[in-house]
Structure 1
Amino acid sequence: MTPTTRTVVEDLLHRIGHAGPEHIAELYAEHADWRLDWPEDQHGSPATPWIRHRATRADAADHFRDLAEHHVPGQVGTEIERILVDGEDAVVLGEIRLTARPTGRPYRARFALHLTVRDGLIVRHHVYEDSLAVSLAFAPADGGIPVAGGGGSASPRP
């Protein structure tokens, strides 16, 4: 029997909080549409390498590995406010609370996660989050915002 969309989404959220990257990735189809609503020129920057589009189950595991590497363990929290389900589609609304490992700065970012579940596996993972909060947490000590391509930073506007 194929699990429902809600069951898969709830399992994913549980695994994100309690399991390793490989176990989380088991919920994804071999090929999935994984997108992040984040400025394209910032994808894969040295400061936030987990922020990039993905396409495979192995990529999903890499995402959760990269995410863990760049945040302080034990200083993590997620508040799920609502899970909305319509057939194969689900939207998870909430807020993450993390601490950037390189800077030690905590941050909060609201998010919406659009998932599509087909045949018991996630085939779409689209994230919409407060990218400014994340960028500021990982910004160099001079207060600049990390820029892709390494090295530089762009100063925030007053």
Structure 2
Amino acid sequence: MTATTPTTTPTTTRAVVEKLLHRIGEGDPERIAELYADDADWKLDWPEAEHGRAATPWIRHRTTRTDAAAHYRELAEHHIPEAAATQIERILVDGPDAVVLGEIRQTARATGRAYRARFALHLTVDNGLITRHHVYEDSLAVTQAFAPAAHNTNH
């Protein structure tokens, strides 16, 4: 019987996730995208009708490394970088899978409204690259921050 070597160990997974979080903090979309596989399973837990709206174009499913770079560019274009912060509370690793738990704080460029959104990010790493990026976040907080003043219910 021949032993098989896993393509990704928990140590490798954690290192890639930590590198991703560091690069996101640096804000260079091209360098962030280098950590994604050419084809990745990228999904957001948002109502499908809300995907890709003009106010929030970064909110949509993605499939390629190029899409990953576009996501981070669009996210930056629609927020005020000086008013952004992310608090990472936990990184849980199980083989090639990792879950990052935390809270983002952003300010919508279009409205000037700040928001906080709790999130869980499920990543899968294979051969040192991210092949799954599933985000679960407080979509209501984001939607309210970008809503026109007359429709904003966050008083």
Q: Provide TM-score, normalisation by structure 2.
A: 0.91
Q: C-alpha displacement at 1:141, in angstroms?
A: 1.1
Which residue of 24, 29, 32 corresponds with 1:24? 32
1:116 aligns with 2:131: no
Q: Using the alignment, how far apart are the partners of 1:74 and 1:31 within structure 2?
A: 32
Give the Cα–Cα distance (whole angstroms) in 2 for the partners of residues 32 and 62 of structure 1. 14
Match of 2:73 among 62, 65, 69: 65
Give the CA deviation at 1:88.
0.3
Partner of 2:146: 138
Residue 43 of structure 2 is matched in structure 1 by 35
Q: Distance in 2 between matches of 1:53 and 1:123?
A: 13
| 1:50-93 C-alpha deviation (Å, 9 max, x unpaired) | 00000000000000000000001211000000000000000000
Task: Give the percent of matched residue pairs that are identical in Structure 1 and Structure 2.
Answer: 73
Secondary structure of the residue that 1:4 maps to in structure 2?
A: helix
Select which of 5, 9, 23 maps to 2:13.
Answer: 5
Work out the number of aligned pairs and report it: 145
2:105 to 73, 97, 104: 97
Aligned to 1:51: 59
* Aligned-partner Cα distance in 2 for 1:100–1:114: 25
CA distance in 2, matches of 1:19, 1:25: 11
Instruction: Please list every run of 5 or more consecutive structure 2 residues that lacks an aligned counterpart in the other structure.
Output: 1-6
Task: State the 1:143 CA deviation.
Answer: 2.0
Which amino acid in structure 2 is aligned with residue 104 of structure 1? G
Structure 1 counterpart of 2:86: 78
Is there any run of 5+ residues in structure 1 with no aligned partner, and where? 145-155
| Alignment partners' CA distance in 2, 1:137 and 1:44 | 16
User: What is the CA–CA distance in structure 2 between the aligned matches of 1:136 and 1:41, rounded to whole Å?
Assistant: 15
| Aligned counterparts of 1:94 and 1:141: Cα–Cα separation in 2 | 28
1:28, CA displacement in angstroms?
0.1
TM-score by length of 1: 0.89
> Residue 4 of structure 2 corresponds to which residue in structure 1?
none
